[in-house]
Structure 1
Amino acid sequence: MTFEAYASVVDESGYEARGRERQALSLGIDRLERLQTGHYSFEDHVQSMLYVRRLWTIFIEDLSHPENGLPEKLRAEIISIGLWVIKEADRLREERSDDVAQLIEINRLIRDAL
């Protein structure tokens, strides 16, 4: 395999990974938007918050890995955002907050930046 062919495979796999990340964030946003309408069960509320929490935990773990290709400063900034998202999802799940709009906005911004 030539270097150019290898680079093409790596670029395509990165593109595919970003696509999966966008899709996962879109699913989380859909869940959060359903909560925003006020028509949801307690189970849906808890599962939606747990989904967002698990998703961002996975992102943080990936960003923390030394082989992650993003610049260190950018990784640190996204990790900081992720920690905030997890904290807010926990507050919503524990009913210490009812403002889901900020979570939707942050997840949209991150998704659209991918």
Structure 2
Amino acid sequence: MYQFSYAEIMEDDVTDAKDRERQALTKSLELLDAAQNDSGQYRLTVEALYYTRRVWVRFIEDLKHPENQLPNELRANLISIAIWILKECERIRKRESSNFQGIIDVTTIIRDGLK
């Protein structure tokens, strides 16, 4: 029978959570890239924006949670980034912008930082 310490279990949970976050961001990036390279089919754009929005809203919810252990300044910075991404998604949805690359670049930086 195996016995794990609380610290080991928590470390596994953090590792699993980071892996899920990386996967969600990777899928968002794939969808955004497909939408950016789309030739007139707005369906891909809607799908990419919807998924990306869901991911970042969920991140905001997690960052605002009192049990989140990230430093307050980092949490605030990530929330600010998330709000910017949500605003850019809305601008693209309204066809006021086509700044997929900005969202892709920022999301890539955040994803790559989850190591």
CA contact (8 A) 2:53 2:86 kept: yes
SS in 1 for 2:7: helix
Output the CA distance in 1 between the equivalents of 2:20 and 2:96: 31
Change (3 A) 1:79 1:62: same
Where does structure 2 lack aligned partners over 5 or more consecutive residues? none
CA contact (8 A) 1:34 1:40 kept: no
Residue range with higher mean Cα deviation, 75-84 or 45-54: 45-54
Number of residue pairs aligned between Structure 1 and Structure 2: 113
Where does structure 1 lack aligned partners over 5 or more consecutive residues? none
Counterpart of 1:19?
19
CA contact (8 A) 2:34 2:44 kept: no
Higher relative contact order (CA 8 A, sep 6+): 1
Amino acid at match of 1:11: E
SS in 2 for 1:47: helix
Q: Say if 2:8 is the partner of 1:8.
A: yes
Structure number with the higher helix fraction is 1
Q: Normalising by structure 2, what TM-score?
A: 0.92
Cα RMSD (Å): 1.6
Counterpart of 1:81?
81
Give how far 1:38 is off.
2.7
Output the CA distance in 2 between the equivalents of 1:77 and 1:10: 25
Give how far 1:37 is off.
1.3
CA contact (8 A) 2:38 2:44 kept: no
Matching of residues 1-114 of structure 1 within 5 Å: 5-39=5-39, 41-114=41-114
Output the CA distance in 2 between the equivalents of 1:57 and 1:30: 18
Q: Normalising by structure 1, what TM-score?
A: 0.93
